[in-house]
């Protein structure tokens, strides 16, 4: 069974669309949405396990220019 997560992403001002487009290209990202509230994007991602989620998806998001911080919430049920 896949490990799924919602990843909340804060980006620098004016870069939400650009960063969201880059995130959408990452293998395992099912969706990336610009939202209102304390974070700028909410990403839904799936991976084979937590380690792959970190190695392939979260670390890739954090390397994108303009990303300030991420908060990852693993889906429990």
Instruction: Measure the CA dihedral 69/11/25/76, to 10°.
Output: 40
Measure Cα distances from 49 to 23, 33, 57 in Å.
19, 23, 11
pLDDT at 43 (0 to 100): 98
pLDDT at 1 over 90: no
pLDDT at 48 (0 to 100): 96
pLDDT at 5 over 90: yes
Report pLDDT digits (tens) over 9-60: 999 999 999 999 999 999 999 999 999 999 999 999 999 999 999 999 999 9
pLDDT at 11 (0 to 100): 98
Give the C-alpha separation, 5 to 67, whole Å: 18
Give the C-alpha separation, 75 to 11, whole Å: 23
One CATH from 3.30.70.920, 3.30.2130.10, 3.30.365.10, 1.10.3720.10 for 3-74: 3.30.70.920
């Amino acid at each position: 069974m896949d490990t799924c997560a919602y990843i909340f992403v804060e980006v620098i001002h004016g870069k939400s669309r650009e960063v969201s487009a880059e995130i959408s290209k990452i293998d395992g990202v099912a969706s990336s949405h610009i939202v209102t509230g304390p974070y700028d994007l909410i990403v839904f991602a799936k991976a084979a396990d937590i380690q792959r989620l970190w190695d392939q998806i979260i670390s890739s998001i954090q390397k994108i220019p303009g990303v300030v911080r991420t908060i990852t919430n693993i889906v429990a049920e």
